[in-house]
Structure 1
């Protein structure tokens, strides 16, 4: 399968490796329930050693938690211990791993995982603790809220009462619990929170299900990280291969009419037909393309948290979403086809960083989706 290579979307360049934004520098022994339901003891030391995720979702190993990260976002011993408490309480309450990610991300936004006391003149009303819960609004006494275990339990107890919380975007679920004055602030912590949960549990954020039965994610299933494979199909032409160095995505081989899922929660920023015929005139997307036609055909771009953009090309007809629409992870956005520069039915899938949909922002979707716990590939 082939895809049109436009001047603004493709270009020469070496393959880039996505490095997760996390540095955890501490020494602590943590006892946690891991992915298979058994108790696992492991040690996070100065070298940031972790355990291996036995189920092998993604690349079968955890993210390198010693990757570079800005100094102002580094997690110290207190913060990681608090994250471990949040995760452990979620496990004890039998909350699925998606809840752990939401809870850790929420505490990152509210307190940067610090158990904050009353800060006097700098305090926000009577907010306290990891989740900045307020005694005056019924969360508990000040003494109770300052107990990280109690605060975590109260967060989860509210979260699980929200219908559909597991399939909501992280920011919507967190906001329904917290009712923050900054409802969109939680989303930016999702990737980091997923990495922390992976580091503490041996990779639970890479899977779907509860802690007694975690499974690798299939297309349409949403990992605890909030990501899912857009379709289930073999990876054909890869990212910036030797034979196609300007190929800025990967081709996922699926039959015509296969449902394409949004890879994560986000906002649709582009819906377009850009097929151009051999004569330089519009070819249209009401018919199949060919290797002599240029363009993605019908395609969709979605902007996700942290400036990640995903692109889905060659849809068989006009997509089922519109510009400006918010989409949930796994939501249907269109059907696969072979419009534009294509020799047969497939989905050309791209991932970009820094809100840059050009060649400069492109990164290997296979590596990125492994990191997110939603590996590409498999039989449709």
Structure 2
């Protein structure tokens, strides 16, 4: 493990079931995706003669993206250079060949960011955790392969995926839990902070795949109850009513999702509950067990959840006390409460907010519509 985090703990020796993998073929990641966007590019000679040549195309929602074999520009990313992105491309290509769903690509890339900053590390003396090597800091002494093998990016990625897919329910686990089941790190929470960067890398290199549902190798935009490869899902399946900071409601810090009373509300992503309580009205009263009305003030019964990367989601106007408590860890899709009309509300709906940089106050709020669309879960069902 490289960087400020201490080295990972010893990993358990285990017998691995090998899955045949050919990495000399052309791997075309012309995937379906969810948002229009970047130019196409091509990666070749990814670290050796046995590495795959990958043709990667730009975004095109809901349709097969065209290949562009004559494009040569790597995407620009402030944090990672061309060699690091080539290693990420190998990880994605191997996952694709093994038919691992895109959620696995995000987990694998995030793990490699934590372990090596996506660099194929040699033996670094005292900087190594014992005999850890390569992208994933795999240890030959712990059954991962020979030193030469674990420094082959394609081989190392394959070994990671083989262990990942044996983890029961890995696709629905928070990323840091899934990665830890494979890596057995002494610092199991270290992986979570890299989920946003890994999601961005997968989206850029694999045609928006992190915005697609995690259960498909040829992905599509997610619908209600499905979780995207980046780990997001719809809080409710509903029409969008009042929007974010509109001209007639400039202080409206979220969007209203119009849906029936008692509809279940789902955590939009895995995270930790920050707040779950009754929000007082303008008079300081905590009377959330009765229907609210316009001008009353307050969120009524509400929940705030902190997600990877300092993102916070807020769920207001619940019909009764939330089903979760502060400090509780939740998974994407967990039911956290039911829709109501408590607080400053004129009828049953879910008021849904997204905040960045861990700021729960008004200043941290952003428009949830493009945010959720970019994660493959468009609010209101529209791409």
TM over 0.5: yes
In the TM superposition, what are the counterparts of 1:325-340 in structure 2 within 5 Å? 325-340=328-343
Q: CA deviation at 1:213?
A: 4.2
Q: Determine the C-alpha separation between the residues in 2 that align with 1:373 and 1:132.
A: 31
Is residue 266–residue 304 contact of structure 1 (8 Å, CA) maintained in 2? yes
Q: Quick one: which of 131, 145, 164 aligns to 2:136?
A: 131
Q: CA deviation at 1:212?
A: 4.5
Match of 2:41 in 1: 43
In the alignment, structure 1 residue 112 sits paired with structure 2 residue 112: no
Is residue 209–residue 215 contact of structure 1 (8 Å, CA) maintained in 2? no
Q: Determine the C-alpha separation between the residues in 1 that align with 2:317 and 2:108.
A: 37
Q: Determine the C-alpha separation between the residues in 1 that align with 2:101 and 2:238.
A: 27
Q: Determine the C-alpha separation between the residues in 1 that align with 2:329 and 2:350.
A: 21
| SS in structure 1 of the partner of residue 274 of structure 2 | strand
CA offsets 1:36-85 (integer angstroms, 9 cap, x no match): 59xxx94169xxx951233179xxxxxx9657x4xxxx211111111110
In the alignment, structure 1 residue 236 sits paired with structure 2 residue 241: yes
Q: Determine the C-alpha separation between the residues in 2 that align with 1:158 and 1:89.
A: 14
Q: Quick one: which of 357, 361, 379 aligns to 1:358?
A: 361
| SS in structure 2 of the partner of residue 301 of structure 1 | strand
Match of 2:256 in 1: 251
Is residue 29–residue 57 contact of structure 2 (8 Å, CA) maintained in 1? no
Q: Quick one: which of 62, 66, 69 aligns to 1:55?
A: 62
Q: Which is further off, 364-373 or 110-119?
A: 364-373
Q: Determine the C-alpha separation between the residues in 2 that align with 1:114 and 1:243.
A: 51
Is residue 75–residue 204 contact of structure 2 (8 Å, CA) maintained in 1? yes
Is residue 91–residue 109 contact of structure 2 (8 Å, CA) maintained in 1? yes
Q: 1:370 to 1:270 in 2, by over 3 A?
A: same
In the alignment, structure 1 residue 178 sits paired with structure 2 residue 176: no
Q: 1:150 to 1:300 in 2, by over 3 A?
A: same
| SS in structure 1 of the partner of residue 381 of structure 2 | coil
| SS in structure 2 of the partner of residue 215 of structure 1 | coil
Gapped regions of structure 1 (runs ≥ 5): 1-29, 58-63
Gapped regions of structure 2 (runs ≥ 5): 1-25, 34-38, 44-55, 65-73
Is residue 241–residue 257 contact of structure 2 (8 Å, CA) maintained in 1? yes
Is residue 193–residue 309 contact of structure 2 (8 Å, CA) maintained in 1? yes
Is residue 139–residue 145 contact of structure 1 (8 Å, CA) maintained in 2? yes
Tell me how large the CA RMSD over aligned residues is: 2.3
Q: CA deviation at 1:192?
A: 1.2
Q: CA deviation at 1:221?
A: 1.1
Work out which structure has the larger RCO, using CA pairs closer than 8 Å and 6 or more positions apart in sequence: 1
Is residue 98–residue 223 contact of structure 1 (8 Å, CA) maintained in 2? yes
| SS in structure 2 of the partner of residue 373 of structure 1 | coil
Q: Which is further off, 212-221 or 292-301?
A: 212-221
Aligned length: 331
TM-score by length of 2: 0.82
Q: 1:194 to 1:32 in 2, by over 3 A?
A: farther
Q: 1:235 to 1:65 in 2, by over 3 A?
A: farther
Q: CA deviation at 1:289?
A: 0.6
Q: Quick one: which of 139, 147, 154 aligns to 1:149?
A: 154
Q: Quick one: which of 352, 367, 370 aligns to 2:370?
A: 367
Match of 1:24 in 2: none
